[in-house]
Amino acid sequence: MSVIYLLISISIVVAILFCVAFIRAVKTGQYDDDYTPSVRMLFDDELKKKENNHNNTN
Amino acid sequence: MNTQNCYHCGLGYTDKEEIVFDDKSFCCYGCKTVYEIFTLNGLTDYYSFEKTPGATPKDTNGKYDFLDNEEIVYRLLEFHEQETHIVSLYIPHIHCSSCIWILENLNKINIGVSSSQVNFHNKKVRIVFNPEKTTLKEIVHLLCKIGYEPYISLDNYEQKKKKVNRELIYKLGVAFFCFGNVMLLSFPEYFEMEEYWLDNYKSFFRWLIFGLSLPSFLYAASGYYSSAWKSLKTGMLNIDVPIALGIIVMFVRSTVDIIFDYGQGFFDSLTGLVFFMLLGRFFQQKTYNFLSFERDFKSYFPIAVTKILPDRSEVSVPVYDVAAGDRLLIRNQELIPVDGILISDNTAIDYSFVTGEADPITKKSGDKLFAGGKQTGKIIEMEVLSSVSQSYLTQLWSNDIFIKKDRQDYKTITDTISRFFTPLLLITALVSLLYWLFIDVTTAFNVFTAVLIVACPCALALSAPFTLGNILRIMGNKKLYLKNATVVEQMAKVDTIVFDKTGTITTSKKSDIFYEGNGLTEEEILMVKNILRGSNHPLSRRLYDFLPNAAIILVDDFDEITGKGIKGHIDGNLIKIGSADFVGVSKVQTLQTAVYISINKVYKGKYVFANSYRNGLKPLLENLSKRYELKILSGDNEGEREMLKQLVPPGTLCVFNQKPEQKLAFIESLQKEGKNVMMIGDGLNDAGALAQSNIGISISEDINVFSPACDGILDASKFESINYFLKLSKNAVKTIKMSFGISLLYNAFGLSAAIAGKLTPLTAAIVMPLSTITIISFVTVMSNYYARKKA
């Protein structure tokens, strides 16, 4: 049963890694603006489609 | 496509003004030009995200010349290296996804821009550009040309690199990490199974939990300790004192428990508590950040002015570098930044910013000009009398009142309750300790700590922020934007309401116009309208819109004498429109605002502009007068007294000819009588009064443009709802009181278990989160219920 020491240690290490990842994400400003990116990701497609149309008409 | 509205900006227009381009209709050439720019650069998708997203570009000739001054540009830049400059510009017009799209595609229009990124909530765009290919001025001009005029003012100029404070998010993350893992590891003990392996590893689990709760106890909860310490030092017991006490006692007791193997301790409750409370704080901060709008007066002044050097050459200088004796050039529609003397001939200054009077005041050469006025004629030259910081407006604004904005004297409802709650809690804990000391010493300490743990008023601390935050959001949706949550509480206490007249109970947008004098024939009206067409004076524009549509006739010898009037020939007839002396009428002592008309030197009559009152003013005032004392202040003359008397309920005090300082003093004298005053005004001219009052609400016709330092901004279209908002604030306070009741019930239940010495970690782990969740859902439901109720 002493394997539980190992397993729990691993799980704690994984949890700490996630916590550190979260803090780094906050530090780099990923949580500063939570609205614009959600709109921005929809734009790229539209822009490409339009450029294709443009090429077609040329 | 809607044929009646502009394809670009959505404004309505009449058939005659319609401009058709590329099968689309536009209301003006400005909008058409923007469309052309977008089409040329393949950016017509702008119109596919939102309908009519644009704004009509404004004429900005010369307005941004100060951006030629390198010093100013460098101060505005966020970052500058040889080939990369970064600037963040505040653009009030950002309002939809089309805006984001077009601003992030700026590089398609100007090749000097390498990328741009929009922050929608802050209405800011961050532009990275190459200074060798373009300049900041070019970018700003481009933005103006496409209808996204940035807002550059002294605020930007003084901007220090602001550090974003993300501490709360870190704490929240750490608290959740601890809470989740501690909960998981505590689980086996909840079931108290007498299993071999559980007994075997018990101490391993417990010490692991202890270790995991350390970051939560030491780091995440640290804000509560410092707040509690501060409040103890000032001798005031705020709600953070019992919270910090509860957390510390919980930690010490739990540590003792596991050292001597008494039990598992309360680490699960502790970490949960810290997490939930930080979550509440986070929610609170989010709401407040979203609503923060306060700006100081500097936002209204131009950042640079044009100075005329002795050799007649012109330079842009920062406004703070202006010294007495300098000569300045002020263009049409520019603000006068400092007091000075007019050098040029004549001009008209619009002081609506300072006095609330909409009609420009004529100034002759040699007259004194006061800071804050807006120049409305052709370009003028002025000599500076004093530097910026000594000016009249600055004096008004540097009045003490703007400094004590944090309102140290006001105690929130939570603070008031906690002043009673904390001593009561300590007494209960001590009494039960003494009682148990006679029976059993070990239990006595258990009971003492249990009382402090279970009575930890987390639900109490959360109920006010959640209710008020929710109410702030609801009011925001209904277009009343309050500065912070305390304002809601103070609003509930108001007993006197003071209205400003101009721009508050009257609307500055449309005025009733009527004609007095010898009747005009249709032909004559036609001629008047055609003369008016050439003038840009606000009264001319208003009268032009008021007169019926007419055919366009050619006007000869049109001339606009600024500050006096306009004249022109039509078919040989000389038509003069303007002030009384201009038209040749002896000036009658009148209190009205009027435009006089003469044709071929014969006086015909005058158009009188009456103030028009807001819709629903009368019923609103009547409703309010049932519960509040009403007063009306006006910077205007007494011309409207009779009219006003019919509108206001009997007994309402109306005071006229009030200067800004007098308005402030009026509010002060009311407060000395012990009144809680709410002031409703419209702008800078009553800004002192707005700040002096317990609650200052400013009415705004355009939220993006106008926001002086006050406690709240109300959209002019929602003026009638003032009564509703007042009621809602009262109900909000009622909700908080009810939730305090519920939270005390939980506390009583927990306490009775604690005093009896029967509080187990499991009960604590259930009761504490449960009470928090009940309170939060209760206040959310109740505040939404009250919001739906009609006033």
Mean pLDDT, residues B461-469: 82
- All residues at 6 or more sequence positions from B758 whose CB lies less than 8 Å from its CB, including other chains: none
Domain-wise residue ranges, chain A: 2-55
Size of interface A-B (CB pairs under 8 A): 69
B520 interface with A at CB cutoff 8 Å: no
A43 interface with B at CB cutoff 8 Å: yes
Mean pLDDT, residues B360-384: 78
What is the spatial distance between Cα B336 and Cα B261, in angstroms, rounded to a whole number? 77
Going by C-alpha positions, the residue among B638, B697, B696, B688 that lies closest to residue B659 is B688
Mean pLDDT, residues B521-530: 82
- All residues at 6 or more sequence positions from A49 whose CB lies less than 8 Å from its CB, including other chains: none
In this predicted structure, the answer to whether residue B85 has a pLDDT above a threshold of 60 is yes
A58 interface with B at CB cutoff 8 Å: no
Chain A positions touching B164 (Cβ under 8 A) are: 29, 32
User: Do A26 and B169 lie within an 8 Å CB cutoff?
Assistant: yes
- All residues at 6 or more sequence positions from B480 whose CB lies less than 8 Å from its CB, including other chains: B697, B712, B713, B714, B715, B718, B721, B725
User: Do A1 and B200 lie within an 8 Å CB cutoff?
Assistant: yes
User: Do A36 and B119 lie within an 8 Å CB cutoff?
Assistant: yes
pLDDT digits (tens, 9 = 90+) for B35-48: 888 887 777 778 87
CA B200 to chain centre: 61
Three-state helix/strand/coil letters over B343-395: CCCCEEEECCCCCCCCCCEEECCCCEECCCCEECCCCEEEEECCCHHHCHHHH
Bridge-based pairing state of the strands B304-308 and B602-613:
unpaired
User: Do B119 and A15 lie within an 8 Å CB cutoff?
Assistant: no
**pLDDT for B291:** 52
What is the spatial distance between Cα B775 and Cα B465, in angstroms, rounded to a whole number? 11
**pLDDT for B68:** 79
Nearest to A33 among B44, B119, B204 (CB): B119
Q: Choosing among B94, B121, B196, which should be mutated to test the A contact, i.e. which has the most A CBs within 10 A?
A: B121
Chain A positions touching B44 (Cβ under 8 A) are: 50
Give SS3 for B542: helix
pLDDT digits (tens, 9 = 90+) for A2-53: 788 898 889 999 999 999 999 999 888 887 777 788 877 777 655 544 444 4
Q: Looking at the DSSP assignment, which residues form a beta bridge with residue B677?
A: B496
- Quick check: B531 and B561 in contact, CB under 8 A? no
Q: Where are the alpha helices (H) located in A1-58, listed in sequence order? A: 3-27, 36-57
B68 interface with A at CB cutoff 8 Å: no
- Quick check: B506 and B612 in contact, CB under 8 A? yes
Going by C-alpha positions, the residue among B788, B781, B779 that lies closest to residue B280 is B779
Mean pLDDT, residues B232-255: 85
pLDDT digits (tens, 9 = 90+) for B299-314: 445 556 778 888 777 7
- Count how many residues are written for chain A: 58
Q: Which residue has the tokens 């001219």?
A: B685
User: Do B208 and A51 lie within an 8 Å CB cutoff?
Assistant: no
**pLDDT for B298:** 45
A10 interface with B at CB cutoff 8 Å: no
Nearest Cα of chain B lies from the Cα of A10 at a distance, in angstroms, of 13
- All residues at 6 or more sequence positions from B83 whose CB lies less than 8 Å from its CB, including other chains: B130, B131, B132
In this predicted structure, the answer to whether residue B511 has a pLDDT above a threshold of 60 is no
B195 interface with A at CB cutoff 8 Å: no
A57 interface with B at CB cutoff 8 Å: no
Q: Tell me which amino acid residue B449 is.
A: T
Mean pLDDT, residues B522-542: 75
User: Do A23 and B120 lie within an 8 Å CB cutoff?
Assistant: no
Q: Choosing among B101, B103, B199, B203, which should be mutated to test the A contact, i.e. which has the most A CBs within 10 A?
A: B101
pLDDT digits (tens, 9 = 90+) for B315-336: 777 776 777 788 888 876 677 7
- Quick check: B706 and B416 in contact, CB under 8 A? no
Bridge-based pairing state of the strands B593-599 and B304-308:
unpaired
A25 interface with B at CB cutoff 8 Å: no
CA A27 to chain centre: 14
Q: What is the ipTM metric for this complex?
A: 0.79
Confidence of residue A55 (pLDDT cuts 50, 70, 90): very low
**pLDDT for B587:** 60
Give SS3 for B303: coil
Chain B positions touching A22 (Cβ under 8 A) are: 173, 177
In 3-state terms chain B splits into helix, strand, coil percentages (rounded to 5) of: 50, 20, 30
B191 interface with A at CB cutoff 8 Å: no
Q: Choosing among B120, B182, B205, B207, which should be mutated to test the A contact, i.e. which has the most A CBs within 10 A?
A: B120
**Residue A36's closest chain B neighbor by CA?**
B120
Query: B777: buried, middle or exposed (CB in 10 Å: 19+, 13-18, 0-12)?
Result: exposed
B390 interface with A at CB cutoff 8 Å: no
Nearest Cα of chain B lies from the Cα of A39 at a distance, in angstroms, of 7
B50 interface with A at CB cutoff 8 Å: no
B118 interface with A at CB cutoff 8 Å: yes
Render B334-345 in DSSP notation, one character per residue.
-B--S-EEE-SS
User: Do A35 and B120 lie within an 8 Å CB cutoff?
Assistant: yes
Give SS3 for B52: coil
Nearest to A43 among B101, B166, B185 (CB): B101
Going by C-alpha positions, the residue among B51, B30, B28, B17 that lies closest to residue B147 is B30
User: Do A26 and B118 lie within an 8 Å CB cutoff?
Assistant: no
- Quick check: B415 and B725 in contact, CB under 8 A? no
Give SS3 for B726: helix
B472 interface with A at CB cutoff 8 Å: no
In this predicted structure, the answer to whether residue B175 has a pLDDT above a threshold of 90 is yes
Q: Looking at the DSSP assignment, which residues form a beta bridge with residue B315?
A: B307
Among B158-167, B192-201, B642-651, B674-683, the range scoring the smallest mean pLDDT is: B158-167
Confidence of residue A57 (pLDDT cuts 50, 70, 90): very low
Render B512-529 in DSSP notation, one character per residue.
EEEEEESPPPHHHHHHHH
Give SS3 for B259: helix
Q: Looking at the DSSP assignment, which residues form a beta bridge with residue B612?
A: B507
Nearest to B120 among A4, A16, A33 (CB): A33
Mean pLDDT estimate for chain B: 77
A29 interface with B at CB cutoff 8 Å: yes
- Quick check: B723 and B616 in contact, CB under 8 A? no
What is the spatial distance between Cα B199 and Cα B193, in angstroms, rounded to a whole number? 9
Confidence of residue B529 (pLDDT cuts 50, 70, 90): confident
